[in-house]
Amino acid sequence: MPIVNIDLIAGRSQAQLKALVEDVTTAVTKNTGAPAEHVHVILREMQPNRYGVAGVLKSDEK
């Protein structure tokens, strides 16, 4: 049972998230041979003020 965890910054539409889950599932089934019903995709969305790069919060970027 493949489990894929994806962390991303919040702000994508429901349609984008759905397409992401579908595409990831397709890639996993293609490359592992696991049936789609066994592929689990977990999306974890973070608020921009809860993620930083190089000491700068994403919410502070211009």
pTM of the model: 0.88
Number of domains in the chain: 1
Q: Which pLDDT belongs to residue 52?
A: 95
Is 48 one of the annotated active-site residues of the chain?
no
CA dist 9 and 44 (Å) reads 8
The answer to whether the beta carbons of residues 28 and 6 sit under 8 Å apart is no
Q: What is the largest CA-CA distance in the chain?
A: 43
Q: Which of 1, 2, 24, 49 is catalytic?
A: 2
Range of the domain at 15: 3-52
Q: What is the pLDDT of residue 16?
A: 98
pLDDT in tens, the chain (62 residues): 999 999 999 999 999 999 999 999 999 999 999 999 999 999 999 999 999 999 999 999 87
Q: Could you tell me the CATH number of the domain that includes residue 29?
A: 3.30.429.10
| pLDDT score of 62 | 75
- Picking from 22, 46, 50, 49, the residue whose alpha carbon sits closest to that of residue 36 is 22
- The DSSP secondary-structure symbol of 3 reads E
In 1-62, alpha helices (H)? 14-32
Tokens of 47: 């608020």
